[in-house]
Structure formats: structure tokens, C-alpha cells
């Protein structure tokens, strides 16, 4: 009989610590499954952020280290210098990457660092308990914007892909979503594209995943999936923001 | 020889650092203990510059000094500020091309070195500091002439080697006048 | 051993780190140590190493952490405010047991302070600076040759102890020139050889995922974290015994004992000579390791001594360790300059003599 489901070698055989309906598990699997398909699991070195995915190293079956909040791109830059031949990636949330880590991500992209950043954007701080993130949408309630975020008080949400795609060093920048099977299949293609371009050492590669946080959004998993489409995608449009010429030809 | 302490002061661009470093290199080539300590500040150009050089047969305790066997004043502010540093019986070298005021001390030896005029005589304004270095070495004996020539040989290499003769000439140009 | 060369302190430090085997350097410009990144950017790539100018000291220390976690031999340098920014990473490196050679060419503070020499980072260096329970061995050279030797030996030391090792130099050492003899170049690690020498490093596990490595500092379970910190401190207890270093001169039969580190210790040596001419016998204790502090040296102080004087370029930081070393046996006094001011040997001698006279008048 043909198996309909098998474990991916890229995931450790433990339960994740993520909430029901959280898309971290999907993103983890997309990253590690693709590494496996590319034959890079044993050659990969990952950097986990601070946030819900700080313990990504418990779930992803690759060599990994933790980093201080927002510093993963700096840490990965150091790793890349020591191991020019390995596959290096960071996995970061939106509080980590788009707030405290803006200097590190922008300069890593500007330097054209030859690693891939997987950016989990769920419009909120997860682990610390639902505070406003730089990506929190206007009107969205959080524990530090209890009446809803306002432009007057907190400015507008940062669109990271658009920001990074202004930098020449960022050769591949794509935003995908994890809210439907079709979007997840597209997301996996983006992961593969990013890792293939990293393999060519063309520059910095970046994939943003529009993700869910049902717990801190106060929604059921199913409604959280719908919320991505109805609220996030209109503000954070999906698509490829930057792509190297060489890659298009592939 | 007990420690010889030299203090070079002037403004940026007068060769303070170069004179100090060449003296230090020369001392090292003689197998002596030596330290060089420059002032450092936020100015990249101009401003004040000074450095301290200590040369000794014994290990040097402090690279910083409060009195000097020899003070080199390349401009008036340096004279006013550092004349008091000269030990009784020590040497003060004055760049009299731009310092017209006379020192107040009577317990020290003062040598006038009009570096700009002497450099003009030699036909190269750029060797003013080498003329002063010659005056320093001749009046203090801190290092030998041969050691300075060795420093020049190691400093001016390749396309700059042709500058050695000019610099030796400048180094030898100043003669002490009768006191 | 080669012949003596005349080098500016900062350049000699950089050369010593390269020759010591540090293949990776991450830095950010700050006075009075900018000659170090300048020198290394020029020299290290020629010899097969990597220089990377970071976006900030935060970036630099985290690049260093990543490179160290990946098994690289790493050198970083900065000056006081920059070292302050790096404390986040220092705490991480200690918890993750990642080696590092760190150099502080320190200047006056607090705040942006000034750019002239200071020693007011003593607490920062020896008492932590970052969060949590950890220790960093700190060595304070008083001359360029000693700095070269300490930096050269710091890479194997950091690797042996799996901990950052700090060299605490002051701006005088960074800027002055002195003849030095440079040690031989140690070979750099090749990436393929790292796993064998550093089995804990994240290098990619290859074909065998049972060799998967994780470098981390998060321990959510309190008992787990406690056990980890206890283990770190067993290591630090051994380091306290093995790494302590000091130079003491004439302390057994001295009227007064001066305690000073770094350049101040050199100035104090000259002050000792001036005091001798005045009939005052002064001893000198020069801590070479600031942590672990050489408390044992104070047991050598003989019955003749009236007072112990800590001389520092700060408002009195090392003096707290001096007091621990002396205990209640003798009064402990301070001679200080701060803000980038440096006492001359004459000033030091005068102030020491004045203090001494307070204790013989009665």
C-alpha cells in the first residue's frame, strides 16, 4: 500500500510547542522538507530568533543556534564567514525582525549576505503575549493597542518585503501566505527558489510568510486562516518583489 | 645612560609625529628601550600635536613624562605651554621661524632653529622637520646620526629612495650658534 | 621569534590576534582603537582570514557569536561605549560556551565620555556588564609586548575554557609605540577540520543526524537553567585557581603598597623610585588578571606596611577588590584621576607620600 503521509526527515519526531492553528509548523515543514529535497539537510546551519520559534531547533532537524532578539542576520553573517560552503538560514518573527532587528536585517540585505531569511509575519508579538508589533495592522487590537492601532499613535505597519527590495543586495524577495493549500504550495516554491538562489551565492534571499496567531488574535484556527486573506493580504500583497535575472532563466 | 625624555610639540602638519617616530625607530635600532606616545584628539588636520619619546638602557616605566631633557617647540603656544617641562640644565629647541617671543627660563640651554629659512636655503620647504630633527639629535645625543640614517633608508624606499640625500642634507644642515 | 619591530599598540594588538589564530574579525570604528579594524581589514584577508565591518557593535558581537558557534576562531575589539553595546552578546556567548577573544581599548566615561585613556570599565569588565550569572577572564597588560603575548595566548585559552576572554587595555597602550617581538603565526582552522576539534560547533552534521548540534542559551525550565549555571560556575571556580596572574615587587617590607594595573602600574613603578629617593619604601602589586583578581598577593604584605593605595583612572573601582584582598588588616586608600586625565609619576608619588604621612603622624 502506498503511504499517504510520512515524516519528513527534516523535522524531529517531537510534538511542536505551537498553539493549535498556528502556521509555524507549516513554515518549519516547508523549510526543512525543501532542504531535504535539495539534499542540504546535513549541510544546513539555521539561526532561531527570540519569540515563539526560539526553540525551532527542537523541531528542525538541522544544526542550529539561538540568537538574541533581532540579531539572527548578524549571527548568520558570522556563520556564513566560517562556512562558505554550507546552507545558512535565519528563521525570524515580525517582532524580532521588523522591530528590534531592523538594523541587522537591513544591513545583511544591503551586504548581499549569502543566506536566506524566512520571515514569519503574523502582525503581533506571540510569545510575550500579544503586544503590538511594527506589522500590526491599523485598527488591530493588541495588548498594547487595546482600542486598535492608530496611525497617530504608532505610525503605519512596516512592509518588510517592499523595504528590503529597495536594496541591491537583496536579490530574491517574495511574500507568500500560509492560509490555504494553494498558497502553501506557492510558499514551498518560494522556499525552494530562495534556497536555490542562495546555492548560487547571488546575494541575500528573503521569503515572508503571512502567518496566523489565533491565540493572540482571539480567533479560532479556521477564522484566523480567513483573517489572513481578508485583512493581511490587502495590506501585505503577495508576490515576488525582487528576482535575479539568472533565476528567471532557470 | 639614564632615561632621556623628549617632548615634541607643535601644530598638525609640522612633522611632530614623524620626528618623534624617527627618534624612536633610531633608538630601537641601537638596541635601546624606547617608548613613543602621541597626543590624540578629534581633529584630523590642524589642531595641536605633541608626542613623548623616552629612550633608555633600562626598561622604561612610564611612557608619560612630567619633565623632559629636551622640549621641541614648533610654534608659540607650544613654547608657552611646555617651556616649564624642561628639566634644569635641559634643552629647549625653538622654531624661530615662527616664534619670535623669547623663553623666560635662564636655567636651560636654548637653541634657535629657524627651520623655514634654513629649508629655503636648502631649496625644499618640505624638509623643515628634518632640519629640526638634526638639531635635536645633535644637541641631545639621544641617538646617533648613523641610526637616523638607517631609519631614513628604511623609510624612503622604492620611488622615494631619491629623497634620502635631500633629507640627509637637511638633517646635517643646522649648526649650533655660540651661546 | 623574529626581530624587534616598532609598532603602535593597536596595530600590534591586531597582529597578535591574527598570529594567535583568530581568522575572523568583526568590528565597528571607535576611537581610540580604530587602527585595529583598519589594520585587520588590510592584513587579515591577505592571510586567508575574514574582516567584516558591522553595522554596529551589536551587529559585530552577534556576528562574532555566530562565527564562534560555527567553530571559527574570532577576535573583536572596541572601546568603552562600544564594549557596553556588546554586553548582550557577551552574556550569550558565556551561556552558550562560545569562545571569543575580546579587546577593550578603554576610554573615559560615563556616557560617550571622552576619547582619552580610562580604566572606569573595571566593573563592566570584571562584574559582568551583561545580564545573568557569568564570568569573563580579563587580563590587563601594562606594555605592548605583554599585550601582544596576552592576546596571542587568548585564542587557545578561550577555546580551552569555551568562554570569552577579554584583554583590558587603555587608550595609552593603544596609541603608544614600543618595540615588540612578534610570535609565530598559528595555523588557521579550515572549515572541514572544525567538527573534529570542536565537536560542539554548528557546522552541518553531514550524513549522520545523531550528530546534530544546537548552540543555545535559552533554558525555560528553572531547574535546567540552575543546573546549567552551576556547571558554568564549576568551570569558573577552576578558572579562578588556574588563571590568576599578578606581578608584585617589594611588598614584603614596604611602608606603603601601591596597587595599579595597566599603564598606571608603569607610572606607579616610577613613583616607587621617586618615593625611594624620599626614604619611603613602596611596594607594588600589579594585577595582570583582573578577573580572577589576585587576592592572594595581598597575603605577602609584611608587618611594616601602614597603608595600601589603589591607583586608578576611575573614581575607584578596583579598590573594591583591593579591600577584599587586604581585609581589615590595613587601611585602603585611593589615588585617582578620571575623565581621561593621567597622573604623572611625580603626582602619584606626591599623593602617596601625603597619604603615608597621615599614618605616621600619630
Whether residue B179 has pLDDT greater than 50? no
| Cβ–Cβ below 8 Å for C202 and A79 | yes
How many other β-carbons are positioned within 10 Å of the β-carbon of residue A45? 28
Considering only alpha carbons, which residue of chain A is nearest residue C207? A42
Query: Please, do chains C and A touch (3+ CB pairs < 8 Å)?
Result: yes
Task: Of B5, B121, B93, give the one whose Cα is nearest residue B52.
Answer: B5
What digits encode the pLDDT tens for the residues C269-286?
999 999 999 999 999 999
Q: Is B177 contained in some domain? A: no
Q: How far apart are CA A189 and CA B100, in angstroms?
A: 81
| Cβ–Cβ below 8 Å for B28 and C171 | no
C207 pLDDT tier (thresholds 50, 70, 90): very high
Whether residue B178 has pLDDT greater than 90? no
Query: Please, do chains B and A touch (3+ CB pairs < 8 Å)?
Result: no
C116/chain B closest Cα distance in angstroms: 8
A2 pLDDT tier (thresholds 50, 70, 90): confident
Query: What range defines the domain where residue A125 resides?
Result: 24-249
Scanning the structure block, which residue is given the C-alpha cell 559582568? C128
What digits encode the pLDDT tens for the residues A100-135?
999 999 999 999 999 999 999 999 999 999 999 999
| Cβ–Cβ below 8 Å for C69 and A79 | yes
Q: Is B138 contained in some domain? A: yes
Partner chains of C (3+ C-beta pairs under 8 Å): A, B
Backbone torsions φ then ψ of A150, nearest 5 degrees: -120, 150
Phi-psi region of C212 (alpha: psi -120 to 50; beta: other; left: phi over 0): beta
Question: Which CATH number belongs to the domain containing residue A72 in this structure?
Answer: 3.40.50.970
Whether residue A247 has pLDDT greater than 70? no
Which residues, at least 6 apart from A250, have a Cβ–Cβ distance to it below 8 Å?
A: A196
| Cβ–Cβ below 8 Å for B40 and C266 | no
Question: Which CATH number belongs to the domain containing residue B85 in this structure?
Answer: 3.40.920.10
Q: Is A11 contained in some domain? A: no
Among the partner-chain residues A57, A79, A107, the one whose CB lies closest to the CB of C55 is: A107
Q: Is A55 contained in some domain? A: yes
Q: How far apart are CA C130 and CA C231, in angstroms?
A: 19
Instruction: Give the angle B41-C52-A74 at the CA atoms, nearest 5°.
Output: 110
B48/chain C closest Cα distance in angstroms: 15
C6/chain B closest Cα distance in angstroms: 7
Average pLDDT, chain B: 92
Q: Is B23 contained in some domain? A: yes
> What pLDDT is stored for residue A111 in this prediction?
98
Instruction: Give the angle A98-A102-A97 at the CA atoms, nearest 5°.
Output: 40
Cβ-contact A200, A109 below 8 angstroms: no
| Cβ–Cβ below 8 Å for A81 and C63 | yes
C96/chain A closest Cα distance in angstroms: 9
Q: How far apart are CA C159 and CA C74, in angstroms?
A: 10
> What pLDDT is stored for residue A190 in this prediction?
98
Q: How many domains, chain B?
A: 1
Q: What is the mean pLDDT of residues A76-84?
A: 98
Give the residue numbers in A contacting C (CB under 8 Å), as ranges: 9, 41-45, 47, 54-55, 57, 61-68, 71, 74-79, 81-87, 103-104, 106-107
Q: What is the mean pLDDT of residues C34-60?
A: 98
DSSP states along B110-143: EEE--HHHHHHHHT-GGGHHHHHHHHHHHHH-SS
Task: Give me A10's grid cell.
Answer: 527534516
Q: Is B119 contained in some domain? A: yes
A161/chain C closest Cα distance in angstroms: 20
B174/chain C closest Cα distance in angstroms: 28
What digits encode the pLDDT tens for the residues B8-38?
999 988 999 999 999 999 999 999 999 999 9
Percent of chain C clearing pLDDT 70 (strictly above):
99
| Mean pLDDT lowest among A3-12, B111-120, C118-127, C349-358 | A3-12
| Cβ–Cβ below 8 Å for C216 and A57 | yes
Q: Residue A111 half-sphere exposure, CB side, CA atoms within 13 Å? A: 21
Q: Is B113 contained in some domain? A: yes
Q: Is B178 contained in some domain? A: no
Which residues, at least 6 apart from A117, have a Cβ–Cβ distance to it below 8 Å?
A: A72, A73, A76, A89, A90, A91, A92, A97, A105, A108, A204, A205, A206, A207
Cα dist from C162 to A8, C83, C198, whole Å: 34, 20, 10
Among the partner-chain residues B33, B40, B64, the one whose CB lies closest to the CB of C344 is: B64
Q: How far apart are CA C302 and CA C310, in angstroms?
A: 17
Q: Name the residue with higher pLDDT: C221 or B2.
A: C221
Q: How much is the pTM? A: 0.95
Write a three-state SS string for C239-297: HHHHCCCEEEECCCCCCEEEECCCHHHHHHHHHHHHHHHCCCCEEEEEECEEECCCHHH
Q: Is B176 contained in some domain? A: no
Q: How many domains, chain A?
A: 1
Percent of chain C clearing pLDDT 90 (strictly above):
98
Whether residue C361 has pLDDT greater than 80? no
What digits encode the pLDDT tens for the residues C187-201?
999 999 999 999 999
Q: How far apart are CA C136 and CA C154, in angstroms?
A: 12
Task: Of B140, B157, B108, give the one whose Cα is nearest residue B19.
Answer: B140
Backbone torsions φ then ψ of B149, nearest 5 degrees: -60, -35
Give the residue numbers in C contacting B (CB under 8 Å), as ranges: 4, 6, 31-32, 115-116, 171-172, 175-179, 263, 266-267, 269-270, 273, 342, 344-347
Pairing of strands C100-106, C282-287: unpaired
Considering only alpha carbons, which residue of chain C is nearest residue B35? C178
| Cβ–Cβ below 8 Å for B24 and C177 | yes
> What pLDDT is stored for residue B48 in this prediction?
80
Q: What's the CA dihedral at B24, B28, B32, B34 to 10 degrees?
A: 40
Q: Is B70 contained in some domain? A: yes
Q: What's the CA dihedral at A91, A94, A100, A103 to 10 degrees?
A: 70
Residues of B in contact with C179 (CB under 8 A): 28, 33-34
Q: What is the DSSP letter of A232?
A: I
Partner chains of B (3+ C-beta pairs under 8 Å): C
| Cβ–Cβ below 8 Å for C67 and A82 | yes
Q: What is the DSSP letter of A69?
A: T
Pairing of strands B68-73, B4-11: parallel
Average pLDDT, chain C: 96
Domain architecture of chain C: domains with CATH:
4-194 (3.40.50.970), 246-360 (3.40.50.920)
> What pLDDT is stored for residue B58 in this prediction?
93
Q: Is A18 contained in some domain? A: no
Residues of C in contact with B34 (CB under 8 A): 6, 178-179
Q: What is the ipTM of this complex?
A: 0.95
Beta bridge partners of C102: C76, C166
Query: Please, do chains B and C touch (3+ CB pairs < 8 Å)?
Result: yes
Query: What range defines the domain where residue B105 resides?
Result: 4-171
Give the residue numbers in B contacting C (CB under 8 Å), as ranges: 21, 24-25, 28, 33-38, 40-42, 60-67
Residues of B in contact with C4 (CB under 8 A): 28
Whether residue C212 has pLDDT greater than 70? yes
Amino acid at each position: 500500500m502506498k503511504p499517504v503521509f510520512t515524516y519528513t526527515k527534516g523535522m524531529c519526531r517531537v510534538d511542536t510547542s505551537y498553539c493549535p492553528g498556528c502556521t509555524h509548523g507549516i513554515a518549519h515543514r516547508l523549510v526543512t522538507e525543501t532542504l531535504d529535497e535539495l539534499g542540504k539537510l546535513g549541510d544546513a546551519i539555521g539561526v532561531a530568533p527570540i519569540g515563539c520559534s526560539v526553540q525551532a531547533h527542537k523541531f528542525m532537524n538541522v544544526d542550529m543556534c539561538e540568537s538574541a532578539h533581532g540579531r539572527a542576520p548578524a549571527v548568520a553573517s558570522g556563520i556564513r564567514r566560517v562556512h562558505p560552503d554550507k546552507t545558512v538560514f535565519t528563521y525570524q518573527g515580525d517582532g524580532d525582525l521588523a522591530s528590534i532587528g531592523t538594523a541587522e536585517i537591513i544591513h545583511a540585505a544591503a551586504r548581499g549576505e549569502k543566506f536566506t531569511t524566512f520571515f514569519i509575519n503574523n502582525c503581533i508579538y506571540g510569545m510575550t503575549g500579544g503586544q503590538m508589533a511594527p506589522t500590526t495592522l491599523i485598527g488591530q487590537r493588541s495588548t498594547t493597542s487595546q482600542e486598535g492601532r492608530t496611525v497617530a499613535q504608532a505610525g503605519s505597519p512596516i512592509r518588510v518585503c517592499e523595504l528590503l527590495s529597495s536594496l541591491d543586495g537583496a536579490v530574491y524577495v517574495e511574500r507568500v501566505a500560509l492560509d490555504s493549500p494553494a498558497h502553501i504550495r506557492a510558499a514551498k516554491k518560494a522556499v525552494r527558489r530562495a534556497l536555490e538562489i542562495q546555492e548560487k551565492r547571488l546575494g541575500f534571499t528573503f521569503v515572508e510568510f503571512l502567518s496566523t496567531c489565533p491565540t493572540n488574535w482571539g480567533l479560532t484556527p479556521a477564522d484566523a486562516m480567513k483573517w489572513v486573506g481578508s485583512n493581511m493580504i490587502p495590506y501585505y500583497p503577495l508576490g515576488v518583489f525582487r528576482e535575479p535575472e539568472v533565476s528567471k532563466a532557470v | 645612560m639614564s632615561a632621556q625624555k623628549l617632548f615634541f610639540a607643535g601644530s598638525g602638519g609640522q612633522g611632530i609625529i614623524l620626528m618623534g617616530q624617527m627618534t624612536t625607530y633610531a633608538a630601537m635600532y641601537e638596541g635601546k628601550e624606547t617608548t613613543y606616545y602621541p597626543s590624540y584628539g578629534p581633529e584630523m588636520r590642524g589642531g595641536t600635536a605633541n608626542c613623548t619619546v623616552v629612550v633608555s638602557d633600562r626598561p622604561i616605566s612610564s611612557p608619560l613624562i612630567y619633565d623632559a631633557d629636551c622640549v621641541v617647540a614648533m610654534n608659540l603656544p607650544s613654547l608657552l605651554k611646555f617651556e616649564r617641562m624642561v628639566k634644569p640644565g635641559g634643552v629647549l629647541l625653538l622654531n624661530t621661524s615662527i616664534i619670535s617671543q623669547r623663553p623666560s627660563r635662564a636655567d636651560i640651554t636654548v637653541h634657535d632653529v629657524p627651520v623655514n629659512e634654513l629649508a629655503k636655503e636648502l631649496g625644499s620647504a618640505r624638509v623643515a622637520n628634518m632640519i629640526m630633527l638634526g638639531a635635536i639629535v645633535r644637541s641631545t645625543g639621544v641617538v646617533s646620526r648613523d641610526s637616523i640614517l638607517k631609519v631614513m633608508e628604511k623609510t624612503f624606499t622604492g620611488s622615494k629612495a631619491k629623497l634620502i640625500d635631500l633629507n640627509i642634507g637637511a638633517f646635517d644642515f643646522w649648526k649650533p650658534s655660540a651661546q | 621569534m623574529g626581530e624587534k619591530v616598532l609598532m603602535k599598540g593597536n596595530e600590534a594588538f591586531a597582529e597578535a590576534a591574527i598570529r594567535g589564530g583568530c581568522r575572523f574579525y568583526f568590528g565597528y570604528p571607535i576611537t581610540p582603537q580604530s587602527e585595529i579594524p583598519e589594520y585587520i581589514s588590510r592584513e587579515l584577508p591577505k592571510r586567508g582570514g575574514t574582516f567584516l565591518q558591522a553595522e554596529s557593535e551589536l551587529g559585530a558581537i552577534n556576528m562574532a557569536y555566530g562565527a564562534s558557534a560555527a567553530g571559527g576562531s574570532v577576535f573583536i575589539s572596541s572601546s568603552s561605549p562600544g564594549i557596553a553595546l556588546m554586553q548582550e552578546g557577551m552574556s550569550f556567548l558565556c551561556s552558550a560556551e562560545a569562545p571569543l577573544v575580546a579587546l577593550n581599548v578603554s576610554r573615559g566615561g560615563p556616557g560617550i565620555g571622552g576619547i582619552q585613556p580610562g580604566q572606569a570599565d573595571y566593573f563592566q569588565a570584571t562584574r559582568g556588564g551583561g545580564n545573568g550569572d557569568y564570568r569573563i577572564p580579563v587580563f590587563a597588560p601594562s606594555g605592548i609586548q605583554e599585550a601582544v603575548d596576552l592576546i596571542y595566548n587568548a585564542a587557545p585559552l578561550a577555546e580551552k575554557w569555551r568562554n570569552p576572554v577579554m584583554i583590558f587595555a587603555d587608550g595609552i597602550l593603544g596609541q603608544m609605540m614600543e618595540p615588540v617581538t612578534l610570535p609565530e603565526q598559528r595555523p588557521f582552522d579550515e572549515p572541514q577540520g572544525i567538527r573534529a576539534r570542536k565537536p560542539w560547533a554548528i557546522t552541518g552534521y553531514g550524513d549522520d543526524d545523531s550528530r546534530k548540534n544546537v548552540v543555545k542559551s535559552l533554558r525555560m525550565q528553572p531547574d535546567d537553567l540552575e543546573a546549567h549555571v552551576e556547571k558554568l560556575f564549576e568551570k569558573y571556580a577552576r578558572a579562578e585557581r588556574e588563571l590568576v596572574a599578578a606581578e608584585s615587587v617589594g611588598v614584603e617590607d614596604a611602608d606603603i603598597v601601591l596597587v595599579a594595573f595597566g599603564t598606571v602600574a608603569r607610572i606607579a613603578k616610577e613613583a616607587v623610585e621617586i618615593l625611594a629617593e624620599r626614604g619611603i619604601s613602596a611596594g607594588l602589586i600589579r594585577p595582570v588578571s583582573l578577573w580572577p583578581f589576585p587576592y592572594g598577593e595581598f597575603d605577602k604584605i609584611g608587618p611594616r606596611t601602614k597603608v595600601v593605595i589603589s591607583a586608578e583612572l576611575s573614581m575607584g573601582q578596583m579598590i573594591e577588590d583591593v579591600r577584599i584582598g587586604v581585609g581589615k588588616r590595613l587601611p585602603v586608600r585611593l589615588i585617582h584621576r578620571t575623565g581621561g586625565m593621567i597622573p604623572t609619576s611625580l603626582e602619584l608619588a606626591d599623593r602617596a607620600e601625603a597619604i603615608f604621612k597621615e599614618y605616621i603622624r600619630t
